[in-house]
Structures are given as structure tokens and as C-alpha cells.
Homo-oligomer: A and B are copies of this chain.
């Protein structure tokens, strides 16, 4: 069959030009809608382009006009150590990334993703690699120590997510404090629970630190008995949450009336552990999460949590970065509001539950 002959590697703008009988400049102009090419010229170029199936080379384009139209996104991924439930811990990140992607599309940008293993030593190398291929990068939480971020920020516009603002880089995060305060108030005031614990996330996470601090402040302010400390130290993962519960129970500890988890994943694991021991949520122990990942509403019971506008978080990160890339200026620290989502794991009865009770 008549394969269109392709003599030397991929086509270039020269091939199109000679096929259309015009100069490369004209081809470029038609392709980019610059200037006012004559109708006939325009048409000949377009025809040549479609006949040849020409796709302009992004690298050359980028090199020439100094814009790659690519944002890099770097995040952590679980390594070989792969707990069953861990799959889902990616959800949080994935949703944010989706937000970035959507916002990027609006500007004609594409998203270059790069995950870094948890114990990957040369995270810096990988990040630099991405930085070189993008106009700017978005770093998820805990990707790089502050100094590293600042250094890199000298070369490429950087937006960090959900951490503490770092000199040189811009930052986008959620209002952890307000969310945690609302959550604790609901537990202590609305439900009148007397004792609460904070099942912590990784200690090196600014998000976790902010939540822990807000938790303690608010709980103490309401005069509750608060449980915190090393025996309540999780790591944001379901496995971590389960381990804490198992450890406490094995040690014969009495659980508090309510457990506030650092994130939904942790709550998921903790609830599994509780279920294995026959402890009922929320009847025996109330449980709450943070993030409102999509599965949260499918847990049993549905998880009361604080919703972070994750997609918006990503979109905002891109927008901030874009403004920096195109105008040179960008907000140094933007804080997005969160929302308390009351389901059943805190002890509130859902419509469905009430209906069942009424019915029988």
C-alpha cells in the first residue's frame, strides 16, 4: 500500500514548506495564526500539513520562544513496601493532580508528572530533571527540605502544596486550623464527648503539625481529656492507623470516646483495626478523618471528616504558577477554606439510619 514516503526521520517544517511551495516562515505563521497570510497561502499550507500529518516539534518550539507550556508536578509514591490499603493513599494526590490538569488545560499547558519513591535518595536529581523540562513546577508536601526548595526556586518558578511557605517559592494550602477547630467543637460541644485523641500523621508534615496544634488548643479550651503523644503516632497511612489502635489495645489501654485522625487514610485503617476487635464505631468510639477523599463516604459507617477542596487546591496551584510564569508575579501564600462534612462515624445518625429505625 502507498505509505507516504518518509525519507529522513520525522517531518520538519521544511518538508511542509517545500510541499506547499512556500517558505518555512509562512508555514510557521499559518500554524500559529501570526500575521495575515494570503488565503491561498494559508490553504496550501494547511493542505500540506494534513496530507503529511505534520506535528510540530515541541522542543524546538519551546527553545525558540522560551515557553514549553509544561508544568512539572512532583509527588511521593510508596516504594516496594506496598501495604494493601496503601493504593488508596494516592487518591488525595491524584485528585489534586486532576485539579492541576484541568487548570493547565485552560491555558494550553500540559502536565509533566514525576513521582519519587519514599526512600529515593536522589529526589533532588529527579526534581531538577523535571524542572528542566517545564516552565515551572508544583511540589507536593514533603518533597524537599526548605533549603532545597529555596535553592531551586532561583532557577524555576515553584509552587509548594499544603506545607508552610518557603522563601522564594509560592505556596497554596488549606485552612487546617479552622477545619480542625470546627471538627473538635462538633465532637466536644455537639456530642459532648469528654475525651478525645489525635491519631497523628507524619511528624515531618507541616499539615500534620498544624492540625495537631489546632487540635490540642481547641480540645484543651473545651476542657476535654486529650490523648496525644508517641503511642498515638501514625504516618498518614491506613496501616499506620491500624498499628496504633492495635498497639494501644494490646497494651491494655482504654480508648478515648472519640479519635480524631490526621487524615482519612489513617481513619480507614483505624476503623478496620477497631472492627477486628469488635469495637463499634461510632457507638463505642467515634472516629473522624481529614481530607474527605472519595472513599470516605463509602466506609461503614460513612466517615465524618473535613473536606479540603482538593481539586481546587490543584487548580489554584497552577493558576498561581501560571501567573508567575507569564507576569513574573504570583501570590506567595494562598489559603483555601475547608468544610466540615458530618456523616455518621462521629455519632450523628444519617437519614438512612434514622429511616431504618423508624421503619422497624
Contacts and interface: CB of A to CB of B under 8 A. Distances in A.
B63 A132 contact: no
Of listed A11, A69, A112, A297, residue having the most chain B CB within 10 A: A112
Contact of A131 (B55, B85, B90, B297): B55
Interface string A63-88: 10010111010000100000011011
B63 A156 contact: no
A129 B61 CA distance: 11
B68 A151 contact: no
A254 B162 CA distance: 51
A348 interface: no
User: Number of copies of this chain in the oligomer?
Assistant: 2
Contact of A110 (B62, B77, B88, B112): B112
Contacts of A7: none
B114 A112 contact: no
Given A114-B111, A132-B56, A10 B155 contact: yes
Interface residues of A, number: 61
Interface in A5-27: 6, 9-11
Contacts of A300: 300
Interface stretch (A94-102, A196-204, A312-320): A94-102
A350 interface: no
B60 A294 contact: no
A205 interface: no
Contacts of A85: 294
A281 to B, nearest CB: 14
Interface string A287-325: 000000011011110000000000000000000000000
A285 interface: no
Contacts of A57: 63, 132
A247 interface: no
A4 interface: yes
A88 B293 CA distance: 10
Of listed A114, A133, A299, residue having the most chain B CB within 10 A: A133
The 6 closest A-B pairs by CB, nearest first: A58-B133, A59-B62, A87-B294, A58-B132, A59-B63, A59-B59
